[in-house]
Amino acid sequence: MQFLRFGLCLMVVGLLASCNKNEKKQEEQKPQEKVLTEQEIKKINKEINADYKTQLISEIINKKVRGGFNGSVLIAQKGVVLYENSFGFSKDTIPNTKDSKFQLASLSKTFTAVAVMKMVQDGQIGLDNTVKDYFPKFPYEGVSIRSLLSHRSGLPYYQYEFDLKVRTEKIYPTNQQMMDWFATAVPTPKPLNQPDHFFSYNNTNYAVLAAIVEKVSGKSFEDYLKEKILQPAGMNNTFTGVSKNPMLNINKTIGYQNGRKLEKDFYDDIMGDKGIYSTTGDLLKWYNVLKSESILSKENLREMYTPRSFEHPGLRNYGYGFRLWVNELQQTDYIYHTGWWKGYNTIMFFDLREDFVVILLSNKYNRDVYNVKEIVNILHGREKQSTLEENILDQ
């Protein structure tokens, strides 16, 4: 009997030790956000001429507001927020605030790409694996994870192929339903090109990636993001559009275009290519996560920020989930992503070398959101001018 009690005690101690170990592991994974002291802030403000930059940025944002901008803005450099403000209405007569949650549209692809690369880093999937490794009935051969991430898959556009079906049958498909439709469609939708032959920006790529994340993890895309990215990053105001968490609906905006509200779209429940709701404050945390290399290693982030397409050499390129503004040597100068979906216009634009990020989120259609050249030049100071064009929206 005493031996049995001793054995039970050892089991309990072992379980407690295991729990503590897991808790410590989770704590170690959580990014430690550096809080600047008042003295450090003063030093940085002087170093970057913060007051002068804030004044100039305010003038530019006010001009955007006069031109119809409706949304939230946050601009930071070297850990100091230079400008943060909100304008217009989130819905009806409710004003936008810094806590307003916006549909990120294609800016959501940055989260999908990091989720996939997290799985690569953890040894769960390989970049050269194909979609058929996870969905054997997928009708297209040779489509690798790598080609999906870099928009080089040649797949057809799911929105066009299944548009008649969703509208006549009033279906709001999920990612897994979309995969089933591709597998069972007669005739099989014709691919646009052979894999890895050409760059073609396509939402299908990222909807398929989200489906793979679900298949491999055994979790919903939302639950995987929450566990591996959002919670460790402290992004408590970021949700997928299909979230059942009631917090999503607090300060949630509605998209407007041509003076009218845009109702739920038939494709709003497909995640990965769009569908994340977030705030400017949480996107600043997202920038800090990327900058600190706390979720992905330096090597994997470098993979994501490497230009992948050179059919038409120029200043615009794409890595894995991030648009890239490159120089004449085809090296990455700036990292960003834009978004445009159902009245929402979004951009997150950053420079890791000079440590600044520009975030504009709008819920009332306005293409001026994508004109950040003046702001970027201000952040550089007098020493450098960017090669950006006036409007960097990529079609």
Query: 3-state secondary structure string, the chain?
Result: CHHHHHHHHHHHHHHHHHHHHHHHHHHHHCCCCCCCCHHHHHHHHHHHCHHHHHHHHHHHHHHHHHCCCCEEEEEEECCEEEEEEECCEEECCEECCCCCEEECHHHHHHHHHHHHHHHHHCCCCCCCCEHHHCCCCCCCCCCEHHHHHCCCCCCCCHHHHCHHHHHHHCCCCCHHHHHHHHHHCCCCCCCCCCCCCCCCCCHHHHHHHHHHHHHHHCCCHHHHHHHHHHHHHCCCCCEECCCCCHHHHCCECCCEECCEECCCCCCCCCCCCCCEEECHHHHHHHHHHHHHCCCCCHHHHHHHCCCCCCCCCCCEEECCCCEEEECCCCCEEEEEEEEEECCEEEEEEEECCCCEEEEEEECECCHHHHCCHHHHHHHHCCCCCCCCCCCCCCC
29: in domain: no
Residue type (1 letter), 265: D
- pLDDT for 8: 40
Does residue 78 lie within any of the structural domains?
Answer: yes
pLDDT at residue 224 greater than cutoff 60: yes
Higher pLDDT, 23 or 221: 221
pLDDT at site 389? 77
| pLDDT band of 251, cuts 50, 70, 90 | very high
What pLDDT sits at residue 27? Answer: 39
**Is there a domain that residue 212 lies in?**
yes
Question: What is the average pLDDT across 283-297?
Answer: 97
- Separation CA 307–CA 330 (nearest Å): 7
Q: Is the pLDDT assigned to residue 310 strictly greater than 90?
A: no
Asked whether the bond before 187 is cis by omega within 30 degrees of 0, the reply is yes
Lowest mean pLDDT of 85-94, 274-283, 345-354, 381-390, name the range: 381-390
In a domain, 5, yes or no: no
The answer to the question of residue 333 being in a domain is yes
Produce one character per residue of 281-314: b if its CB has 16 or more CB atoms within 10 Å, e if not: bbbbbbbbbbeeebbbeeebbebbbbbbbeeeee
Nearest CA to 207 out of 127, 281, 274 is that of 274
Q: Report the distance separating Cα 338 and Cα 107, nearest Å.
A: 5
For the segment 119-139, the average pLDDT, to the nearest whole number, is 98
User: Which range scores top for mean pLDDT: 29-33, 88-92, 328-332?
Assistant: 88-92
Task: Give the domain extent around 259.
Answer: 38-380
Cα 155 from chain centre = 21
Report the C-alpha gap between 113 and 272 in whole angstroms. 9
CATH number at residue 306: 3.40.710.10
Residue 229 has pLDDT above 60, yes or no: yes
| Confidence band of 339 (pLDDT split at 50, 70, 90) | very high
Confidence grade of residue 2 (pLDDT, cut at 50, 70, 90):
very low
* Assigned domain for 6 exists: no
Q: How far is CA 387 from CA 76, 112, 170, 334, 348, in A?
A: 20, 28, 46, 10, 17
Whether 260 shows a pLDDT value over 80: the answer reads: yes
Q: Looking at residue 30, what is its pLDDT?
A: 53
The percent of residues in the chain predicted with pLDDT above 70, rounded, is 91
C-alpha span between 268 and 266 (Å, rounded)? 6
pLDDT, mean of residues 291-319: 93
Between 147 and 25, residue with greater pLDDT: 147
State the pLDDT confidence band at 17, using cuts at 50, 70 and 90: very low
Average pLDDT, the chain: 91
Is there a domain that residue 11 lies in? no
- Decide if 107 contacts 286 (C-beta within 8 A): no
Query: Which are the contacts of 311, defined by CB distance < 8 A and separation ≥ 6?
Result: 198, 199
User: Does residue 24 carry a pLDDT above 80?
Assistant: no
| Most confident residue range from 29-33, 38-42, 172-176 | 172-176
HSE on the CB side for 317, CA within 13 Å? 26
Q: What percent of the chain has pLDDT over 90?
A: 82
Contact 72, 96 (CB under 8 A): yes
pLDDT (mean) for 83-92:
96
Answer yes or no: is 28 within a domain.
no
pLDDT at residue number 336: 97
* Dihedral (CA of 315, 321, 322, 326) sign: negative
pLDDT at 341 over 70: yes
Give the residue from 240, 253, 231, 219 showing the smallest Cα distance to 102: 253
Strands 323-326 and 260-261: unpaired
Task: Write down the pLDDT at residue 7.
Answer: 45
**Strand partners of residue 161:** none
Confidence of residue 33 (pLDDT cuts 50, 70, 90): low
In the chain the first and final C-alpha atoms are separated, in Å, by: 74
Q: How far apart are CA 271 and CA 39, in angstroms?
A: 43
Residue scoring higher pLDDT (73 or 381): 73
So what's the pLDDT on residue 329? 85
Residues 119-148 have a mean pLDDT of: 98
CB 112 within 8 A of CB 175: no
Total domains, the chain: 1
pLDDT at residue 116 is higher than 60: yes
pLDDT tens, position by position, 179-199: 999 999 999 999 999 999 999
- C-alpha–C-alpha distance, residues 360 and 291, integer Å: 19
pLDDT at 384: 77
Q: Are 186 and 137 in contact (CB under 8 A)?
A: no
